[in-house]
Each structure stands twice: as C-alpha cells, then as structure tokens.
A and B are shown apart, each in its own frame.
Chain A
Amino acid sequence: MVASGQKQALVIGVITGAGYGLVALGLVLIYKSSGVFNFAQGEFGTVAVYTLYRVHDRIGVPLVPAVAIGLAAAVAMALATERVVIRPLFDAPRVTLLVATAGVSLLAISLELWLGEARLRFIQPALSRLDRVSVFGVQVSDQRLLVLAALVMLAVLLALFFSRTNLGLAILGVSQEPVATELMGISVRRLSSFIWGLAGLLAGIAGMLTAPVVGSFGPGFLTFNSLIPAFTAAVLGGMNSLPGAFVGGVVVGVAQSLAVSAPAFHGIPGAGSVMVFVLLVAVLTVRPHGLMGKA
C-alpha cells in the first residue's frame, strides 16, 4: 500500500513534471527533425515571459494581445537563431551546433541581465483559483491544471502532426534523408525555419504557463529551472518521441518529488537534482533510446 506522503509526492511530481514536459516537447521537436540538441530552448521561453511581463504588467496591454506578442517574440528569437546560427553551420558536426545553441543561450541570459537587471520579476497566474481540485490532499491550482492540459494537448497534436500530415512527414523525411527530400522538391531550408519557429512557439507557451506557477522569473529563468530536467525527460521518453517527452517529464517530476519527500533523503541538499542525474545515467545505461523512443 502506498503511504499518504508518497501519494502526495506522486501528485506533486506529476504537476511539477508537466512543466518539464512542456520544455522537453520543444527539445524533441528540434532533435527529431534536425538532430540538434538545442540548449537555447529555455531562453526562447524566457524571452517570451520577459516580453509578456513588459507589455502586460508595465505598458498595460491587455492579457490576450500581450500573450500573442510574447509568443511572437519567442518565435522571432527562434527564427533568428535558425537563420543566423544554425543555417550557416547546418553541415557542421552536430556537436558544433550544440555548442552554438549553448552560446545563443548564454548571450540571451547576458542580455536579460543587462537589460532587465539581476532581479526577480513577479507574475500573477491568469487562472487564480487554487482549490478547485484536490488529489490525495494536495490542492492543484487551476494554473497547474492548465499546464498539465496544455502538455497533453500539445503532445497529442504534435504526434498527429508528424504522423498524419504531409508537412509532418516531410519534416521527418528531412531529418532522415535530407538530400533525397530536397530532390523530391521539398525545401529543406524552409522546413528548418518552420521547425525552429514551432519550437520557439512551444518554448513561449512553456515559459508563459510555468512562470506564473512558480510566481517569479529572472534572467535565464527557464534554462536554470527546467532545461536539465527537461533534457532528462526528453532522453527518458526517447529523443524522437513526442509523447515520450510528456511521459519523461512526469517521470522526472515524480522522481524529484519522491527524492525530496522520502525520509531516507531528508537533510541531503539537492536530493531532487541528484535523483534527476541518477535517473539520466540509469536510462542511458539500460535503455539508451528511452522509454518510448525507437532504437
């Protein structure tokens, strides 16, 4: 029988893991279509949150148009990254692209520090009701439910997109046989822009939904809070499986939560983070292609 504390840890893990899953979706999307580990994914989301904060909280633009502007900023940053950094290096080894995206991330964090100061900004959730749902005694706020719903919906939609639409199949074709796909008359460059723009959109959604849950954000918010757990989630689920990102995010969240709440780990600093790395190493050793990925 599962003890009450462990049940609560499971609930906490699922609702915090949903945020990791959202970021992991974007990572998988880029990797699935181009084989690039995108370390800048977190910053696409952070830029969206900064933009939302600036135009909504500071300038006073209503929420819906402010969200649209924030998402547009994330997409614009992703497109700029693709055009200025990724495309010139497209034929370079993948590790070069990995380092390049890490460079984009560091540059973005530096700019956020420079323009936005090294201070936390506080942001209110769009959905403020806290006590609608209670599971095993843990109250799940409406904002957290929204994150969970968005994650499930986006994972399913993207899975359908890649399996049922010509554009989705074309993107998969580019990732597996770029030359053959080009010979079929499909523009690899245009598809690349589309994929990065979509990844930027996903990161923007992740940032805007998770920042109000945490209640605050600062320079490098999504990178520092979520990128490592999200990478673990993506690897755990399988780097080429979008539903795997969802499953991986939840598994990482639950592992973190159990490690934090387990009496055996009480008093150990960073037990949750340690558990994430243990999980990552275990998955890479036992099942390198992940829980739902294809070998």
Chain B
Amino acid sequence: MTRRSARVAAAGGAILALGLLLAAPAPLLPRAAADTGVTGTTIRIGIHAPITGAAAFPQNAFDKGKDVYWKYIAEKGGIFGRNVDVVLRDDQSNQSAALQACGDLVQNQQVFILLGMGVASSAEMTTCAAYAASKGVPYLSTGVGQDGLTGKSTYFATSQTYAQQHPALVSYIKNVLHKTKLAIVVDNTPALNETQTSITQQAQQAGLNIVRNSRISETASDSELLSEANALRTSAAEVVYLLTSPVNFIKLAQNANNQAYNPIYMGPGISSGLNIVAEAGCPAIGAAKFFSPFPGLDVIDNLDPAYKTSYQKYNGSVPPADDVGLAEWGLAKLIGAVLQATGADLTRQSFMATLQSGKEFATNVYPAVSYSSTARFGAKSAHLLEADCANTPRRFKTIAQFTTGF
C-alpha cells in the first residue's frame, strides 16, 4: 500500500467509525454503569443523611432504621429474590462532605441508586443531584428547594418540595389559624432563594401581611439569634414561617421565649417536625406546626401497622425511640414499590423508565407520587404535624394526613 492510499484508507476508516458512532442509539445512561449495584441476590442502595452537623439527630437513629423495611421484605421473598443492602454515609449537613459521601457511594461502594435524606438546606441534595446526573445514577431525595434540582436528568423528589407545600401552608394560616401578620425566616443559603421568593409571593397573594422577611446564618451565633428573636418580637408577627435547621429553630424559639414572645411557628417539612425537635424545643416552640413527608408515630399504626412491629422485631424488641426510622421506612417502601414495578430485569435504565412512566406509587406513609420525563417533583400532598408539648414524651402529633390544602 502506498503512503497516499494508506492515508485515504485511514481517513475513510475514521469517517466510517464516526458515522457508526453517530448512527448508534444514544444510551440514556452510561452503559457500563447500567446494572452497577445489582447482582442475582442483592441490590445495593446508598443513602446520604445529616447524621452529624447542624441537624443533630441521634447518632444511631439512621443506622437502626435503614434496614428495617428491607429485612421485612426479605422475609417475604425479597425483590424478585434479591435482598437490599443499604450503605449509609454522613453528609455532615455540609455540601463538601455531601459530595464526598455521594462520590464514595457511587465509585467505591458501587451503589445502584442514591437516596438523600436532608434537613432545611437543600444545598447537599443539589450537590449530590448534580453529581449523580453526571454519573448517570438515579437519585431520589425528600422534596426540598427546587433551585438546582430542576432539570437534573436523574433526579426525582419523593415528597412535595417546599414551594409545593406553600399553598397548603398559607391556606392553613389564613383559613384555620385566622392570622394575618406573618414573618419569614430562612437559612441564608442560595439553595433557598427560590423557596423564599415562593412563600413571599404566595403569602402576598393570599392577603397576608408580611411584617418581617429575613435570613439567618446556617450556624447562627447566640448574638444573631437573640437579635433575630428581638426583631421578630418588635415586628409583632403572629405566625413565623421557618425554614432553618432544627438547631437554629430551637435556639431562635428559646431566645424568643426569653423575650416573652411566643408566636406560632410554622414551616414546610422535612426535619423540624421530628420528635427530637419537640423533645429539645418544648416548651419554647409552643404548638409549632410543620409539614412532613411522613406522618407522626401517633397515627402510623392506622396507616401502616407493619412499621412498629417490624422496627421492634429487627431492633431487639426496642420500640422506635424517634421518627427517623419511620422516615427511612417510608422512603424504603417507596423505593421497594418502584423496584417491584420495574421487574426482575433491573438496570438503571429500566428503573428510570418505571419512574418516568406516569404510574402512581402509593405507600400510605409518604404521599403518592407519579413522575414523567419532565415532571420530577411528583408528590401532591403532605402531612401536617403539631408539637405536643403538654404530654410526655414530647412529640409531634399528626393534625392532617395527606393534605393538599385547608
């Protein structure tokens, strides 16, 4: 072959290869990663959660609850004969740590999907959602702020986002509490910009008088919290909308109580309605009300009798000390429903296709969800919880189940 003909052959080969590449159907997800985390006997799932950091959950609460539903299902034959292996990582309520945790779960632990359990700030979930999308890993988290999550190709919210909860929240203030003076206090993180705009607009449209609209540091100092409490008192707000870490909430309520100011605290959910907040914050938090993806322990026996008995069975007969386990149970139950619907031939593509099919997944713990290829915030209702400081143990009780408005 002459040098000229060799060049022609090489160029032709390159064009042919390029043509084949372009003509081939583009996979939705990296093909090599499609069945990562799935074997004939197990499905490996990764969870990142704020075990330490601003949320201050009991350290072993996540560990105790993470496997309960999967052990319960394993006894019934598993997911098409497969058991689920859960790997839990601490995101420390910190974006950088969250990225490390999700990176470890995907690259080292080789999980099939990622799940996020979070607190007020959605920054950790935004970070992990971007990372998961870049790796083609399905990522599901409890609903938080929509900023940074919209358009992420592998992301699905398992409960209502903060903005989705606002219409019901505003209608409760107006139609049930019959209050008009509202203050808004939000943790100062860019991930909550859209959420603050949303509640401001919703409240104004409902005719509520916003007497203060402020942001506080994610780890606010004593001085900052006392100043904020004093400003709230001066504003004479009847209801304070809160979207902060539980620690900030409790300290703010204590500082406000020290100023003899006790408004009604209310906010969207994930974590401020947990029983540990009532245990620590009562009596300063009063009858605080928070929306939540899952109900309180007071009604779970009616909604899902298997939870408490299973928790006790797999934790040495110890009854659930808090509701973190219930949050994990509900999330696992939802994932289990999607896995069952996907079938035995489980890949990341088939799992995503099932999620996007428009089928409704109902667990009677988390709200029913349905998604499409463009609609990823698929929950339509939430539970409303109220702090019950009068009784021991101090807990949140459920005052509305699967509600859409008042």
Give CA–CA (A142, B188) in the complex, Å.
Answer: 31
Taking CB atoms and an 8 Å cut-off, the chain B residues in 215-231 that contact chain A are: 215, 217-218, 221-224, 226-228, 230-231
Across the interface, name the chain A residue whose C-beta is closest to B51: A118
Across the interface, name the chain B residue whose C-beta is closest to A120: B56
Q: Which residues of A contact B329 (CB under 8 A)?
A: none
Whether B57 lies near A139 (C-beta < 8 A) is no
Contact with B along A32-61 (1 / 0, CB 8 A): 000000000000000000000000000000
Q: Which residues of B contact A269 (CB under 8 A)?
A: 188-189, 215, 217-218
Q: Which residues of B contact A257 (CB under 8 A)?
A: 223, 226-227
Count of interface residues, chain A, beta-carbon cutoff 8 Å? 37
- A110: Cβ under 8 A from any B Cβ: no
- B59: Cβ under 8 A from any A Cβ: yes
With A117-B59, A139-B259, A214-B251 as given contacts, are A261 and B231 in contact (CB-CB < 8 Å)?
Answer: yes
Whether A12 lies near B226 (C-beta < 8 A) is yes
Whether A216 lies near B251 (C-beta < 8 A) is yes
- B199: Cβ under 8 A from any A Cβ: no
- A193: Cβ under 8 A from any B Cβ: no
Contact with B along A129-153 (1 / 0, CB 8 A): 0110000011101000000000000
Whether A272 lies near B224 (C-beta < 8 A) is yes
Taking a contact as CB atoms closer than 8 A, the residue among A8, A216, A273 that contacts B247 in the complex is A216
Whether A12 lies near B59 (C-beta < 8 A) is no
With A119-B57, A138-B259 as given contacts, are A225 and B250 in contact (CB-CB < 8 Å)?
Answer: no
Q: Which residues of A contact B247 (CB under 8 A)?
A: 120, 216
With A120-B280, A266-B214 as given contacts, are A13 and B59 in contact (CB-CB < 8 Å)?
Answer: no
- 9 additional A-B pairs beyond A216-B250, A257-B227, beta carbons within 8 Å, are A119-B57, A213-B222, A215-B251, A216-B280, A218-B56, A253-B223, A257-B223, A267-B214, A267-B215
B21 to chain A, nearest CB (A): 47
- B209: Cβ under 8 A from any A Cβ: no
Across the interface, name the chain B residue whose C-beta is closest to A113: B52
Taking a contact as CB atoms closer than 8 A, the residue among B52, B188, B227, B251 that contacts A9 in the complex is B227
A241 to chain B, nearest CB (A): 23
Give CA–CA (A256, B228) in the complex, Å.
Answer: 13
Give CA–CA (A218, B280) in the complex, Å.
Answer: 13
- A103: Cβ under 8 A from any B Cβ: no
- Residues of A at under 8 Å CB distance from B? 5, 8-9, 12-13, 15-16, 19, 113, 117-120, 122, 130-131, 137-139, 141, 213-216, 218, 225, 253, 256-257, 260-261, 266-267, 269-270, 272-273
Whether B222 lies near A225 (C-beta < 8 A) is yes
Q: Which residues of B contact A214 (CB under 8 A)?
A: 222, 251
Give CA–CA (A270, B221) in the complex, Å.
Answer: 9
Q: Which residues of A contact B57 (CB under 8 A)?
A: 119
Q: Which residues of B contact A131 (CB under 8 A)?
A: 260
Taking a contact as CB atoms closer than 8 A, the residue among A8, A118, A122, A216 that contacts B52 in the complex is A118
Whether B227 lies near A12 (C-beta < 8 A) is yes
Give CA–CA (A113, B53) in the complex, Å.
Answer: 12
Chain B interface: which size bin? 20 to 34
Whether B260 lies near A118 (C-beta < 8 A) is no
- Residues of B at under 8 Å CB distance from A? 51-53, 56-60, 188-189, 214-215, 217-218, 221-224, 226-228, 230-231, 234, 247, 250-251, 254, 257-260, 279-280
Give CA–CA (A218, B57) in the complex, Å.
Answer: 12
Give CA–CA (A137, B236) in the complex, Å.
Answer: 13
A-B contact pairs, 8 of them (CB 8 A): A5-B234, A120-B247, A130-B257, A139-B259, A216-B250, A225-B221, A260-B224, A267-B215
Interface centre among A120, A137, A225, A273 (most CB of B within 10 A): A120
Q: Which residues of B contact A272 (CB under 8 A)?
A: 217, 221, 223-224
Whether B259 lies near A267 (C-beta < 8 A) is no
Whether A215 lies near B250 (C-beta < 8 A) is yes
Give CA–CA (A139, B224) in the complex, Å.
Answer: 16
With A117-B58, A141-B258 as given contacts, are A13 and B222 in contact (CB-CB < 8 Å)?
Answer: no
Q: Which residues of B contact A267 (CB under 8 A)?
A: 188, 214-215
Give CA–CA (A284, B102) in the complex, Å.
Answer: 43
Q: Which residues of B contact A253 (CB under 8 A)?
A: 223
A141 to chain B, nearest CB (A): 5
Q: Which residues of A contact B51 (CB under 8 A)?
A: 118
Taking a contact as CB atoms closer than 8 A, the residue among A9, A16, A118, A137 that contacts B59 in the complex is A118
5 nearest A-B residue pairs (beta carbon): A118-B52, A117-B59, A269-B188, A16-B223, A120-B56
With A139-B258, A215-B250 as given contacts, are A270 and B227 in contact (CB-CB < 8 Å)?
Answer: no
Give CA–CA (A137, B233) in the complex, Å.
Answer: 10
Give CA–CA (A116, B52) in the complex, Å.
Answer: 12
Q: Which residues of B contact A130 (CB under 8 A)?
A: 257-260
B326 to chain A, nearest CB (A): 19
Q: Which residues of B contact A218 (CB under 8 A)?
A: 56
Q: Which residues of B contact A139 (CB under 8 A)?
A: 258-260
Taking a contact as CB atoms closer than 8 A, the residue among A8, A118, A122 that contacts B230 in the complex is A8
Give CA–CA (A113, B221) in the complex, Å.
Answer: 21
Q: Which residues of B contact A117 (CB under 8 A)?
A: 58-60
